[in-house]
Structure 1
Amino acid sequence: MEVGLVKIAEDSDFRKLKTLVDDNTNWKLEYSKNDETKVWTQMVHGCDFKMVKIHAVLNSILPDTVFDVLHDPAYRKEWDLHMIESTEIGYLNPNNDVGYYAVSCPAPLKNRDFVLQRSWLDMGEEKLILNHSIHHKCYPPKKGFVRAASHLTGFVIRSCPRGTFLGYVSHTDPRGKLPPWLVNKITQIFAPKMVKQLRKAVEGYNHWKARQQNPDFKPWTYPEQMMLAPRISITDCVESHKTSANSLTRDSDYD
């Protein structure tokens, strides 16, 4: 998927995601713990920022629960410690939506935000989620944030003998004026912590969901519920030259 391009995900996009997760050729193993969590990195041609990949096994957890946790915006507010704001902008079709996400960064860095198109495919024993950055006219870059770019971020969720296999891959440019070595180092350190945080979130999800006013509301699973959200027009996602220039806000402490 190309940054800025609004496009309904195709089978080839999901195949690419699975290949990135499953094929370890040209990947460097950076971290391994008890065969339950592994982290790899890979250099990307023409880019200073590495792609990162995680394999994790979530014991005694069902793939459906992991899929729900990664989708449910209300629950994300409960477990994502770095999230500042998450807004569902609307949907393109029952398997593609658009959202805004803002995340805190440690000082002296500015906080980052994204506008993301998310696509998913549920095939029962295997579930796929991927996203990439696009533009939306109602969510231009704003003061105090650096508009980061996800070239590709995705999850592969599969049933396995011990519970659920979770594959994660991300190639994200934080933008701003940051030393690539710093970004790459932080990414390697953050990846195992993300798995630990997600594992804890998954363990508490079903209890949390059962206490909600509408526990059966899962538009990522029930397409008819998606129709309650606004329908996205492609014309609202065309980036102007002025908006593009504004997205190059810098971390002033590194200027």
Structure 2
Amino acid sequence: VFCESGIECIPDDSDFSSFREQCLSGAGWTSRYSRGGVTVTEMSPLSALRSNKTSTEMSPLSALRIACKDVNAETLYDVLHDTSYRKKWDTNMIDTYDIGRLTANADVGYYSWKCPSPLKNRDFVTMRSWLPLGNDYLIINYSVKHPKHPPKKDYVRAVSLLTGYLIQSNGTDTGLPKHEVLSLKIYKASLKYPDWKRKHEPGLKPWTFPEQNALPSVSVSELSVQRADSLENIDESGLSEDKTRHSEDEET
């Protein structure tokens, strides 16, 4: 989502509506997994529009739909927001933290994760926006540049054009996580979250109650577009793949 000046703009209602329509449009969903209260279906590729105030970019978007038994939409929404809890279940994560607050429903944050050897670990700086729409909950984010958080040594700065989640209550709860293994981890984490949250600042949910947000304010003018062609060119095509894999049933 770009302003005419080339700096990042905060998504508005039309951007959320566009993302929701992309998630719900089209046919071609294929069943990938069904076990233990979780059903995962996949649609790929999905032609995704990224809003631009002067033009539009087309980018392929691979989408997953997960139907979670015994998890309500609000709990899944909380799990995806709660940085403190993510450290309990996201075993691939190295670090994550919130950088600053843009508006009542938008912030900037950092996330890094482990890649299998011999690949270098990756990290992001992203703008995240969220919006409850009736029984639907939406979260969308994409990469930005922040002057105080440049690429780090020993990491490859990754670029997210557009990622997000649409969470719906339809008897079962449907989200659009990034990939299948993460979907299962989110489901297991969501089952455990209500009990965990009762023991860890149960009333603190700044994503729902903006007055609780104590992050320093960040001006959108401090941010700029993060494009892949502005980063160093890392060629890892000749590296040998590490065959070690985490179990999908790993406890959170």
Aligned partner letter, 2:176: G
Q: What is residue 201 of structure 1 aligned with on the other side?
A: 189
Q: Deviations for 1:198-235, whole angstroms, at most 9, x for unmatched residues?
A: 100000001111111x2211000001012x11000233
- Give the match's secondary structure for 2:111: strand
Q: Deviations for 1:87-121, whole angstroms, at most 9, x for unmatched residues?
A: 10011101000001101111121111000000000
Q: What is residue 218 of structure 2 aligned with on the other side?
A: 232
Distance change (3 Å), C-alpha of 1:165 and 1:239: closer
Distance change (3 Å), C-alpha of 1:66 and 1:10: same
In the aligned structure 1, how far is the partner of 2:195 from the partner of 2:143?
32
**In the alignment, does 2:206 pair up with 1:219?**
yes
Asked whether the 8 Å contact 2:9–2:220 carries over to 1, the reply is: no
**In the alignment, does 2:132 pair up with 1:122?**
yes
- Give the match's secondary structure for 1:36: strand
Question: Number of residue pairs matched?
Answer: 227
Q: What is residue 103 of structure 2 aligned with on the other side?
A: 93
Asked whether the 8 Å contact 2:8–2:225 carries over to 1, the reply is: no
Shift of 1:16: 1.9
Aligned partner letter, 1:18: R
Identity %: 34
In the aligned structure 1, how far is the partner of 2:2 from the partner of 2:41?
27
Q: What is residue 148 of structure 1 aligned with on the other side?
A: 158
Aligned partner letter, 1:198: I
Aligned partner letter, 1:224: E
**Which of 22, 29, 38 pairs up with 2:41?**
38
- Give the match's secondary structure for 2:162: strand
- Give the match's secondary structure for 1:140: coil
Asked whether the 8 Å contact 1:157–1:165 carries over to 2, the reply is: yes
- Give the match's secondary structure for 2:160: strand
Aligned CA-pair RMSD = 2.9
Q: Which one has the bigger helix percentage? A: 1
TM-score (norm 2): 0.80
Q: What is residue 164 of structure 1 aligned with on the other side?
A: 173
Shift of 1:142: 1.2
Gaps of 5+ in 1: 171-190
In the aligned structure 1, how far is the partner of 2:221 from the partner of 2:16?
25
In the aligned structure 2, how far is the partner of 1:112 from the partner of 1:10?
29
TM-score (norm 1): 0.79
Asked whether the 8 Å contact 1:117–1:133 carries over to 2, the reply is: yes
Asked whether the 8 Å contact 2:79–2:85 carries over to 1, the reply is: yes
Gaps of 5+ in 2: 49-56, 240-252
